[in-house]
């Protein structure tokens, strides 16, 4: 049998109004951020019409109270739906689209999170994914009984144990554990239930989970760290790696490095999909696409551009810098460290002034920016895909629904014409559409090891 052709994977990574900081000001944009369910339904069904693999929700657990009050009052992404609630609702109005929710290991308990995602997986028929984050927003800590954010290394140590517990809980039941035989009166086979009994540095969790496995076995695990520690976590745990690069050389280095780390954790390349963020601005002609980009950029207010850069790189008091001056050297943040380094490197490489860096950050925020015709945007995606930079992309629509509609109606048909993207879904599960193997139950593996 001929080997299956490698195909690109696409997710729609969305904020309620869109990726761009001024998205809510666009005349055609959704601007009732986190309030109108119908807006979210429109976005999800648009992504599914494009046969995209999943809808990926950005999230944070704090309203920003730092910096200039005038700047804060101009932000369009202050309130949002809680991810598990909104995705459970969206599962009822879609059939094939996967749903990835961001949920932090720093301010959660493993049992609660495992139960939430297993429930979403059951409700959706096996279409859920967990974006494991350690929270790069320092203000989240203040809402969870802490005076300050945990240190970078401590957050990752906790995250690894957290994920181990969650995955162990997802393996609480064999697929055929539930007999549900009314005549015999036997509901489940107790020999096919697995008690975790985890006792570690951070967590003590008995189990088992009181949610049955879904058709895909367990949710897909997504991870987005790009520091050295983050790459190790990706190689150890992630099935989708969400990453940020601005050049193909950066992407190839990251892709090769993550894959080189996999054997250390007993994993192979077919278990991982590397999907960088991709910010497309597309129109029938290049000049029209540039006009679209320039228009959104013109909606950026100076206090907002500065405040969003502060948040993106985790450095405060940037409003004291001259807009037309150089970008100064900055100490490492305890927040989004890899993103800080990426953007400062971009500023040095492209010789950007401080305000130019604010403008560059306002849309892509360290991800690939592609402006052009459908063929030009598809050319760039194909180049990254074929040259070892990506297995697919997390597409970041500038504003919703317009930018996502442009991508679905203009770029996806071009990718399909080139044989790079599906024309129909292959599966009803997220894991199946991504071509990821169904994980073996760890409790069986341990039993086999003990028997040898």
* Domain membership flag for residue 317: no
Distance CA 371, CA 292 (A): 9
| CATH code, 96 | 3.20.20.30
Q: Which two tokens stand for residue 155?
A: 């957050």
Is position 4 within any domain? no
For residues 434 and 105, the model is more confident at: 434
- Torsion of Cα atoms, 407 then 409 then 410 then 412, to 10°: 70
**220 domain residue, yes or no:** yes
Q: Find residue 241's DSSP bridge partners.
A: 223, 274
Number of structural domains (the chain) is 1
DSSP 299-366: T--HHHHHHHHHHHHT---GGGS-TTSBPPP-PPPSSSHHHHHHHHHHHHHHT-BHHHHHHHHHTTSS
Rounded Cα gap, residues 66 and 413, in angstroms: 44
How many CB atoms lie under 10 A from the CB of residue 5? 7
Q: How much is the pLDDT for 138?
A: 67
* pLDDT of the residue at 451: 46
29 within a domain of the structure (yes/no): yes
Residue 393 has pLDDT above 80, yes or no: yes
Structure tokens at 179: 């007999």
Asked if residue 75 belongs to a domain, the reply is yes
Question: Is residue 371 predicted with pLDDT exceeding 50?
Answer: yes
Residue 261 lies in a domain: yes
CA-to-CA distance for 126 and 130, rounded, in angstroms? 12
| Stretch among 160-174, 226-240, 411-425 having the lowest mean pLDDT | 226-240
Per-residue model confidence as pLDDT tens digits over 342-364: 888 888 999 999 999 999 888 88
- In which domain, by residue range, is 80 found? 9-301+360-451
Cα 146 to Cα 108: distance, rounded to the nearest angstrom: 13
The percent of residues above 90 in pLDDT, for the chain, comes to 70
In a domain, 386, yes or no: yes
pLDDT tens, position by position, 74-90: 988 888 999 999 999 99
Locate tokens 């944070």: which residue?
Answer: 60
Does residue 350 lie in a domain region? no
When pLDDT is cut at 50, 70 and 90, the band that residue 58 belongs to is confident
């Amino acid at each position: 049998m001929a080997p299956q052709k490698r195909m690109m994977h696409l997710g729609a990574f969305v904020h309620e109004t869109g990726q761009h900081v001024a998205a809510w000001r666009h005349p055609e944009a959704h601007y009732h951020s986190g309030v109108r369910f119908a807006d979210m339904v429109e976005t999800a069904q648009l992504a599914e019409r494009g046969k995209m693999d999943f809808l990926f929700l950005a999230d944070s657990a704090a309203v920003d109270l730092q910096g200039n009050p005038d700047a804060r009052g101009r932000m369009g992404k202050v309130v949002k739906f809680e991810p598990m609630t909104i995705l459970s609702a969206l599962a009822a109005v879609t059939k094939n689209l996967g749903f990835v929710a961001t949920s932090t290991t720093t301010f959660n308990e493993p049992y609660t999170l495992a139960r939430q995602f297993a429930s979403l997986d059951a409700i959706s028929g096996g279409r859920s994914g967990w974006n494991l984050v350690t929270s790069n927003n320092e203000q989240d800590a203040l809402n969870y009984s802490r005076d300050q954010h945990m240190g970078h290394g401590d957050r990752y140590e906790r995250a690894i144990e957290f994920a181990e517990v969650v995955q162990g809980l997802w393996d609480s039941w064999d697929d055929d554990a539930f007999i549900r035989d009314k005549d015999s009166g036997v509901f489940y086979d107790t020999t096919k239930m697995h008690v975790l009994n985890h006792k570690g540095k951070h967590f003590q969790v008995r189990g088992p989970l009181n949610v049955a496995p879904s058709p895909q076995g367990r949710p897909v695990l997504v991870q987005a760290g790009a520091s050295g520690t983050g790459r190790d976590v990706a190689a150890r745990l992630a099935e989708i790696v969400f990453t940020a690069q601005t050049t193909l050389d950066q992407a190839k280095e990251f892709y090769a490095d993550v894959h080189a780390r996999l054997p250390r954790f007993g994993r192979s390349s077919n278990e991982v999909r590397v999907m960088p963020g991709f910010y497309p601005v597309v129109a029938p002609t290049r000049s029209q696409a540039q006009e679209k980009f320039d228009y959104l950029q013109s909606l950026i207010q100076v206090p907002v551009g500065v405040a969003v850069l502060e948040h993106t790189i985790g450095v405060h008091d940037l409003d004291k810098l001259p807009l037309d001056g150089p970008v100064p050297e900055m100490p490492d943040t305890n927040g989004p460290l890899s993103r800080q380094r990426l953007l400062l490197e971009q500023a040095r490489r492209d010789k950007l002034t401080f305000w130019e860096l604010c403008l560059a950050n306002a849309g892509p925020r360290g991800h690939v920016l592609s402006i052009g015709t459908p063929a030009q945007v598809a050319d760039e995606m194909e180049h990254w895909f074929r040259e070892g930079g990506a297995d697919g992309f997390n597409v970041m629509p500038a504003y919703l629904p317009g930018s996502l509609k442009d991508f679905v109606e203009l770029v996806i048909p071009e990718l399909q014409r080139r044989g790079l993207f599906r024309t129909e879904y292959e599966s009803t599960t997220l894991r199946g559409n991504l071509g990821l193997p169904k994980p073996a139950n760890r409790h069986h593996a341990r039993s086999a090891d003990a028997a040898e």
